[in-house]
Amino acid sequence: MRPRLQIIVSSTRPGRIGLPIAEWFASEATAHDTFEVDFADLAEIGLPLLDEPHHPRLGNYQHDHTKAWSERVAAADAFALVTPEYNHGFPAPLKNALDFLYREWNHKPVGFVSYGGVAAGTRAVALLKPVLLALQLVPVVQTVAIPFAGRRIVDGRFDPPEGLDAAARAMLDALARHVDVLAPLRSAE
Ligand SMILES: Cc1cc2nc3c(=O)[nH]c(=O)nc-3n(C[C@H](O)[C@H](O)[C@H](O)COP(=O)(O)O)c2cc1C
């Protein structure tokens, strides 16, 4: 069975460019032919602000939306976070979606498709990394960072700059390698 890559679309804004960027990345992931792809759009999933009474470590979830999110994340073997940069950080819906769960994230690799202006979303990724480490996610170094991403949207589709396809492939290769290496840690718990 092929490992499952969950692509998380972090921006929930109407008119977000994150959706066409994530769609481009999903087509790269499909063409890479290593992973089953789960396209997880946080706008569609519509989690409320964290409303569980117990610490997520306990897995004692009260709400159907949490149980559904838990099942979906637990089924994933690796993640790609498609994230804009908001005020030099990452969007609140992403933090909220991460905070809902704990074990479901543990010992799984994560890569970034970041975008923004001149900094290409890299400041968002820098702030995201300590949060991911607290969840025992394992960030891979290979990354996809898109500067001035708004200029690359043509008729609602993302037109990648030269070299970005290769960056996506390098990240997908790294995620696949890490899935294998981390598997024993996951089965040990
Ligand atoms: C609340 C907010 C804060 C932003 N802050 C930054 C920022 O710190 N750095 C940056 O490069 N772009 C920033 N931008 C511009 C975004 O990169 C741009 O609007 C992008 O389209 C946002 O992604 P989205 O359309 O997928 O939501 C900000 C945009 C918003 C809405």
How far does residue 83's CA lie from ligand 1's centre (Å)?
A: 10
For residue 23, the model assigns a pLDDT of 98
Q: Which residues of the chain have pLDDT under 70?
A: none
How far does residue 164's CA lie from ligand 1's centre (Å)?
A: 20
For residue 6, the model assigns a pLDDT of 98
Q: Which atom of ligand 1 is nearest to the CA of 10?
A: 26
Nearest CA to ligand 1 atom 9: 85
Nearest CA to ligand 1 atom 28: 86
Ligand 1: residues within 6 Å at CB?
A: 11, 13, 16-18, 84-88, 116-117, 119, 150
Nearest CA to ligand 1 atom 25: 16
For residue 113, the model assigns a pLDDT of 98
For residue 56, the model assigns a pLDDT of 98
For residue 186, the model assigns a pLDDT of 87
- pTM recorded for the entire structure: 0.98
Three-class SS of 132-153: HHHCCEEECCCCEEECCHHHHE
Total Cβ atoms within 10 A of residue 60: 11
Tell me the β-bridge partners of 4. Answer: 36
Nearest CA to ligand 1 atom 14: 86
Place of tokens 């969840």: 135
| Amino acid letter, residue 113 | V
Q: Which atom of ligand 1 is nearest to the CA of 21?
A: 26
Residues ≥6 apart with Cβ < 8 Å to 58: none
For residue 21, the model assigns a pLDDT of 98
For residue 189, the model assigns a pLDDT of 73
Q: Are 5 and 75 in contact (CB under 8 A)?
A: no
